[in-house]
Structure 1
Amino acid sequence: MDETTMEEGDHSRDTEVAPALVAVHPTQRSVAVAVGSDLRVFDLQGGCSVSLVDDSGGRPHNDSIRAICYGAKGKLFVSAGDDKLVKIWNTDPWSCIYTVSSEKRVSAVAISNDALFVCFADKFGVVWAVDLDGFHENQVLVNKKAVPILAHYCSIITSLEFSPDGQFIVSADRDFKIRVTMFPKKPLDGAHEIQSFCLGLYPALPLSAFQIIPQGFLVSGSGDSTVRLWDITSGSLLDTCEVGAEAGLLQSNGGEEECYPAVTDLCATPDGSLVAVAIQSLSGIMLLSCNLSAKTLSIVKVVTIMEEAFIPTSLGISSAAELLWIVTDSVGYDPIVLEDNEVPGGVQLLEKLQGSVSIQKEVFLAAAETVKSAMRSLLIKKQYSVEKREFRKKGRNDRKIKQ
C-alpha cells in the first residue's frame, strides 16, 4: 500500500457528499436545514428567513454538517460536523453563543432536557459533554471545555439522544448495538453506569437511526431494512417489522443473497403511535403503527412523495403540530402531500431552505444518485487491509503529544 493510494482515499473522503438534514423547533416556531456546510433557518411564525449571527468568536462551518438538533424547549440549537466544530446557538434571537473544537469529526449531537449540557459524539466513538451553566445569565458562554463522559470501543456513533425524563442518554454505533447509559447528576465526572444494551441486529449491517418514544420504548432502523421496537430499561427486543420486504424493495446481488436497502432515518409522533420511515430505495416514506400496549409494529401504508429520483435523507417533527418534515417537503399524517403554497411559510420558505434555482431533470437524477451513494457509504463500516491500517496509524493525530 503506497502513499499515493492513501492520498487518493483521503481525497475521496473529502469530496464525499453529505446527506441533507432537517430539524424542527418543538413548537414549530422555526425549521432548520443543513446542506453541506450551509445552515439555513426559516422563522415560521414571522414568515421570513433567519440571518444567523455568530457571537462566539469561532470560525463558521467550512465542511459538511453531519448533525443538527433543537433542545427540548427549543431555546438551544446545535450544529456539528466534519470541520470538527460544535456550534451552540441561542434561538431567540438566533446567534451562536459558543463554538467547541473537537479532536475528531463529529457524528451526532444531543441537548439535555434541562438545557444544562450539550453532548456530542466523534468518529472515534467518544461522547463528550459541555456544561452550559451560566447560559441564562450570559448570552455568550466563555471558557467551556468539552469533557469525555463515555465511549463505544473504537466504533463510530451514528445517533445520540436523551430520554424524555432525562434519566438516560442513548447512543448507537456502526457495530449494530444501542447503549442505554444512566445520565448522572454530575456528568462531567463521567457516565459509567450502563442500564442496558439493545442487541440482536443483523450481524453485518449497522444501525442507522433511532428515536425514544413514550413509556420507555425505542424504535430503531438499521441496514438490514428492518424497524425494531425495544424496551430501553431491559434492552429487550419486542417486535421487528420487515419494512424493505413489505415495500418490495429487496434486490438480488446476482448470487443467492439479497440486498437490503437501509433505513436512512425514522421519526415518531409525540405519543409514539405512528412512525415515519425513510428507506434507501424508496421514493417516499413508509408509515408504521406502533401499538405500545401490545408492543407491536405494523405497516399502515407507503406514501409516495415525488418522482423516482427523490430520496429522503432526514425526517423531523415538532411536538406541537401534526406535520412531518422531510428535507425538502412537508407531509401530513393523514397523509396529505402539501402543495408549495400550502407549506407553512410558503414559497419563501422553500426558496430559503432548498434554494430557488431550477434544476434540469438529468442533473437532478445525477444528484440523487450521488446522495444515494453517500448514504450507503455513511452506513457501511469501512474495512482496511493490514498494510493500510498500519499506514493510517502513522498519521493519527490523537497520539501526538500536544505542546
Structure 2
Amino acid sequence: MENTQPEGGENNRDLEVAPALISVHPTQDSVAVAVGSDLRVFDLRGNCAVTLVDETGEAFHKDSIRAIRYGANGKLFVSSGDDKLVKVWSTDSWRCIASVCSEKRVSAVAVSNDGLYVCFADKFGVVWVVDLHGLDGNETLVNKKASPLLAHYCSIITSLEFSPDGRFIVSADRDFKIRVTVFPKKPLDGAHEIQSFCLGHTEFRLIYVQLRGPFDRFVSRLAFLFTADYPQGFLVSGSGDSTVRLWDINPGTLLDTCEFGSKAGIVDYNGNEVSCSTVTDLCTIPGILLVSCDLSSQTFGAVKVISNMGDSFIPTSLGCSSTAELLWTITGVSKLHGYDHNSLTCVRVLSGFKKTIPDAAEPELTVLDDNEVPGAEKLLEKLQGSVTVEEEVFLAAAEAVKTSMCNLLIKKQYTTEKREFRKRGRNDKKTKK
C-alpha cells in the first residue's frame, strides 16, 4: 500500500489553537467565554460564577469549542465545536437540556428568533437544523437528531445568522459567497427556496482590527443592523478583502462598501501602514460598528479605530447586549505550544457607545478599569482565570491565532498531481489489490 500521509503535517490538529470566544446575554444578564474545551459563564445579575450542569457526567466538551451564542430571547445558549457535539443550555438553570451529535466538526451556530430551532454548520458545508419544540428547560437531558437544511457544497461555512424578522437564514462561506435562504415552515423537510445571493467579497486582500496576514477572499462574519424604523434590518458582512459591506438581502443588493484599512489608516506596532487586515468578528451597535452606519441613507459613515487597548491585546471575539451600552472583547487561545499555559484569556470592556444628545459628536470610547467592569474581580477571575500572564505570551498567542485562522479559512491550493495523490488516500477511494 502506498504511503498516503499528507506532507508537511497539514492535517496535524495538535498544532491548531482555538481562539477565545465571548458572548453576551441579550439583556446582559450573563456573559459566556469559551477557550479550548473550557466553557465559563458569569451571572451578572446574581454577581456570581455559574455552575454548568450536564447530566452526561462527562466533560461538557472534549475538544475545542468553535461557536457559542445566546438565543434572541436569551432563554437558550448553544455551544459547539471540534468534538462534533452541539449542546443546548437553559439560561435559567444552566442545565444542558439537549445534546446533538454532528457528523463533522461544527463551524457555526444560530438560534431561530422564536427559540424553537437551532441550526449549525459543519466543516463539509452542510447546515443542519434541530427541533426544540417541547423543551422547557426543566426536563432531563434529551439527545436530539439533526436534519439537513441546506448546503454550500464542500465549502466551510464561517457564519450563520437569522434575519431580524425570522424569515431568512443567512450563511457565509470561505469562498466569498453569502446565501440568503427562506427559512421554511417545516425546517426538518429542508430549505429549498433561495431568496438571493450577496456576492461582492472577491478581491485578494483583508479586514479588521489587528489580526493581519496573508488571508484570502473568505467571508468571515455576518451581523444584522436594525431599528424600529427599519425592522427588516440590513446585513453587514466582514471579509478577507479589506472591506465591510452593507446589503439589502431581499434582492441581494450591495448598498455600500467601506474600505476599512485605507479609511482608518491602520498601522502596525512599528508605525508602518498596513495594507491588509482581516475581520475576525462583527458586533453591531446602533450607529457604530467601528464603522458608523446611517440606515436612512443606507451608507457607511466615519471609521473609528479603538487604539487604547494595548499592543498585546489582539481581539479574537466581540459581544454586546441588545442595549449596546458596553462592548465586551476578549483575546486568548488554547493549546499554545512552547509555553506552560494551556489556555490564555483576557477580557476587556469598552463604554461610550450610547449617545445622550442627538447630533452630538461621537463619544470617546474608553476601556473600563477592572473594578469598573460589571462583576469586577469575581467576573474576571471566572472568565480569565487567576493566572497572571506576561505580555510576550499574549503576543505569541496572537501569532498562533493568525496561523490557526489561515488554516481554517483559506482554501489550500494543490497541483493536479498532489490532488490525485490525496484522492488515492481517501478511504472511500481506496481499492483492494
Show structure 1 runs of 5+ residues with no match.
252-257, 276-286
8 A contact 1:55–1:98 mirrored in 2: no
1:373 Cα deviation (Å)? 2.4
Match of 1:206 among 218, 224, 229: 218
Match of 1:280 in 2: none
Q: Name the SS of the counterpart of 1:315 in structure 2.
A: strand
Does 1:219 find its partner at 2:236?
yes
Q: Name the SS of the counterpart of 2:103 in structure 1.
A: coil
Quick one: structure 1 residues 74 and 367, their matched pair in 2 at CA, closer, same or farther if it must change by over 3 Å? same
What percent identity do the matched residue pairs reach? 67
Does 1:244 find its partner at 2:258?
no
Moved more, 222-231 or 134-143: 134-143
8 A contact 1:27–1:318 mirrored in 2: yes
Quick one: structure 1 residues 52 and 227, their matched pair in 2 at CA, closer, same or farther if it must change by over 3 Å? same
Q: Distance in 1 between matches of 2:250 and 2:5?
A: 49
Q: Distance in 1 between matches of 2:32 and 2:170?
A: 23
Quick one: structure 1 residues 189 and 5, their matched pair in 2 at CA, closer, same or farther if it must change by over 3 Å? closer
Specify which structure has the higher proportion of strand.
1
Match of 2:51 in 1: 51
Does 1:330 find its partner at 2:349?
yes
Amino acid at match of 1:172: A
Match of 1:25 in 2: 25
Alignment of 1:282-293 (within 5 A): 287-293=290-296
1:20 Cα deviation (Å)? 1.0
Show structure 2 runs of 5+ residues with no match.
205-216, 269-273, 331-346, 354-362
Q: What's the TM-score once normalised by structure 2's chain length?
A: 0.82
1:91-132 residue CA offsets vs partner (Å, 9 max, x unmatched): 111111121111111000011111111100001110000111
1:58-103 residue CA offsets vs partner (Å, 9 max, x unmatched): 7531111111110011111111111111111111111111211111
1:2 Cα deviation (Å)? 4.5
1:48 Cα deviation (Å)? 1.2
Quick one: structure 1 residues 57 and 351, their matched pair in 2 at CA, closer, same or farther if it must change by over 3 Å? closer
Q: Distance in 2 between matches of 1:112 and 1:168?
A: 10
Match of 1:37 in 2: 37
Q: What's the TM-score once normalised by structure 1's chain length?
A: 0.88
Q: Distance in 2 between matches of 1:399 and 1:87?
A: 33
Alignment of 1:86-97 (within 5 A): 86-97=86-97
Q: Distance in 2 between matches of 1:80 and 1:219?
A: 24
Alignment of 1:253-332 (within 5 A): 260-269=276-285, 272-275=286-289, 287-327=290-330, 328-332=347-351
Match of 2:246 among 229, 252, 255: 229
8 A contact 1:58–1:99 mirrored in 2: no
1:213 Cα deviation (Å)? 1.7
Quick one: structure 1 residues 387 and 86, their matched pair in 2 at CA, closer, same or farther if it must change by over 3 Å? farther
1:27-86 residue CA offsets vs partner (Å, 9 max, x unmatched): 100000111111111111111111111025675311111111100111111111111111
Match of 1:98 in 2: 98
Match of 2:397 in 1: 367
Quick one: structure 1 residues 338 and 250, their matched pair in 2 at CA, closer, same or farther if it must change by over 3 Å? closer
Q: Distance in 1 between matches of 2:111 and 2:170?
A: 12
1:160-203 residue CA offsets vs partner (Å, 9 max, x unmatched): 01111111111000010111110011000111101111001124
